[in-house]
């Protein structure tokens, strides 16, 4: 069913579902590459694969949203991780995500603890 949906096109034009999805995906890359800090983070994928994953997640989700594939918007981050990152990059990205989450939760709990003591 999915592949049949990709081949549907408007008669006499090149507007197919897959073409619109790919076009919007690439527009997502253009948008993120024009933000200076984001460009640096996304291009340093060996040191910081979390940035590359975030960029690809945004691009995949934007592409799926443009063709009204809501299930693809939700699955965009998983699709980006499985298609765009190598196994080593995935492991490093999950470590970075875990460390960042741990620091965030630890900071929030510390703030809550000291805020109650006042």
Rounded CA-CA distance 68/100 in Å is 32
b/e burial code for range 62-97 (CB count within 10 A of at least 16 → b):
bbbbbbebeebbebbbebbbeebbeeebeebbeebe
Confirm whether 10 is domain-assigned: no
Q: How many domains does the chain divide into? A: 1
**8 A C-beta contact, residue 59 and residue 32:** yes
Model confidence pLDDT, tens digit, residues 52-86: 888 888 889 998 998 888 888 888 888 888 888 88
| Residue whose entry in the numeric block shows the structure tokens 């981050």 | 77
Q: What share of the chain has pLDDT > 70, as a percent?
A: 81
Confirm whether 6 is domain-assigned: no
- What's the pLDDT band for 117 if we cut at 50, 70, 90? low
Confirm whether 4 is domain-assigned: no
DSSP states along 87-111? HHHHHHHHHHHHHHHHHHHHHHHHH
- The per-residue pLDDT of the chain, averaged, comes to 79
For the entire predicted model, the pTM comes to 0.68
Rounded CA-CA distance 26/32 in Å is 10
Confirm whether 112 is domain-assigned: yes
Confirm whether 80 is domain-assigned: yes
Confirm whether 108 is domain-assigned: yes
- Domain residues for the domain of 81 are 16-116
DSSP states along 31-79? HHHTSHHHHHHHH-TTT-HHHHHHHHHHHHHHHHHHTT-HHHHHHHHHH
């Amino acid at each position: 069913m999915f592949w049949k949906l990709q081949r549907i096109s408007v008669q006499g034009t090149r507007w197919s579902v897959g073409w619109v999805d790919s076009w919007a995906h690439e527009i997502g890359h253009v948008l993120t590459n024009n933000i200076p800090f984001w460009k640096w983070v996304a291009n340093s994928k060996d040191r910081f694969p979390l940035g590359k994953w975030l960029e690809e997640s945004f691009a995949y989700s934007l592409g799926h949203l443009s063709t009204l594939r809501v299930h693809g918007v939700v699955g965009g981050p998983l699709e980006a991780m499985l298609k765009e990152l190598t196994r080593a990059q995935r492991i490093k990205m999950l470590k970075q995500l875990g460390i960042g989450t741990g620091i965030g939760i630890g900071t929030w709990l510390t703030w809550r603890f000291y805020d109650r003591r006042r």
